[in-house]
């Protein structure tokens, strides 16, 4: 299977085509899918991937990383599709790197996405709750950056709190760093 045929990469590419951050990073809608696929390929190599739905056509996917996996290895030569976007990618990396919590072990929700046709059916929430339960039982806090106020509100409903002020990209969207301390196990 070619990397761009990976069903998880296809799902996440489809899920993030209209995301405010991705529209800012890759403003040309004609090249955005290829650029996004290239970046997501790196994400999928650097963490634990969880999915819902069948393996051949997952409905939702999440990538959870450790602090050691946070910094993605830069290829010797950037993919040609990314070259026009290197300045924006560097701005994003700098801005997020300044805020990334390095002082405590945690899990980083690098990305979570739902197939667009499946949105609103609970797949993303199920996947998020599974991850929260896993990291709660391990006693690990969770860090993420929400790419919109709407997403930040969703994460707040799951116990995430703002981790400092929103980060503003030059001429771009605000990103909302968020943190969630582990919850104690509940008896059922």
* 167 found inside a domain: yes
**Domain CATH for 164:** 3.40.630.30
pLDDT tens for 94-116 read 988 888 998 899 999 999 999 99
Contacts of 142 (CB under 8 A, 6+ apart): 106, 107, 108, 109, 131, 132, 135, 160, 179, 180, 182
pTM recorded for the entire structure: 0.90
Contact yes or no for 15/113 (Cβ under 8 A): yes
Determine, yes or no, domain membership for 185.
Answer: no
Provide the H-helix boundaries in the chain: 7-16, 20-25, 32-44, 86-99, 123-137, 149-157
DSSP state of 55: T
Q: With respect to residue 187, please indicate whether it lies within any of the assigned structural domains.
A: no
Kindly state whether residue 152 falls inside one of the protein's structural domains: yes
- Domains of the chain: total: 1
pLDDT tens, position by position, 144-160:
999 999 999 999 999 99
Give yes or no for a contact between 82 and 75, defined as CB atoms under 8 angstroms apart.
no
Residue range(s) defining the domain that contains residue 11: 3-180
* Most distant pair of Cα atoms in the chain: their distance: 53
Whether the CB-CB separation of 14 and 115 falls below 8 Å is answered with: yes
Give the per-residue pLDDT at 42. Answer: 86
**Model confidence pLDDT, tens digit, residues 160-176:** 999 999 999 888 899 99
| Residue 188 within a domain | no
Decide if 36 is inside a domain.
yes
Q: Tell me what pLDDT residue 3 has.
A: 43
| CB 59, CB 114: distance < 8 Å | yes
């Amino acid at each position: 299977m070619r990397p761009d045929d990976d069903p998880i990469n296809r799902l996440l590419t489809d899920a993030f085509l209209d995301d405010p951050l991705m529209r800012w990073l890759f403003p040309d809608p004609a090249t955005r899918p290829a650029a996004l696929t290239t970046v997501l390929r790196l994400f999928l190599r650097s963490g634990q991937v969880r999915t819902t739905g069948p393996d051949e056509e997952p409905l939702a996917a999440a990538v959870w990383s450790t602090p050691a996996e946070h910094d993605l290895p830069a290829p010797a030569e950037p993919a040609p599709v990314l070259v026009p976007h290197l300045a924006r990618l560097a701005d994003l990396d700098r801005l997020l790197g300044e805020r990334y919590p390095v002082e405590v072990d945690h899990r980083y929700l690098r990305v979570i996405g739902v197939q667009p046709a499946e949105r609103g059916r609970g797949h993303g929430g199920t996947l998020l709750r599974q991850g929260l339960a896993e990291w709660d039982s391990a006693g690990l806090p969770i860090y993420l950056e929400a790419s919109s106020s709407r997403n930040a509100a969703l994460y707040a409903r799951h116990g995430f709190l703002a981790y400092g002020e929103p980060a503003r990209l030059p001429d771009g969207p605000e990103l909302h760093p968020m943190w969630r301390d582990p919850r104690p196990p509940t008896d059922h």
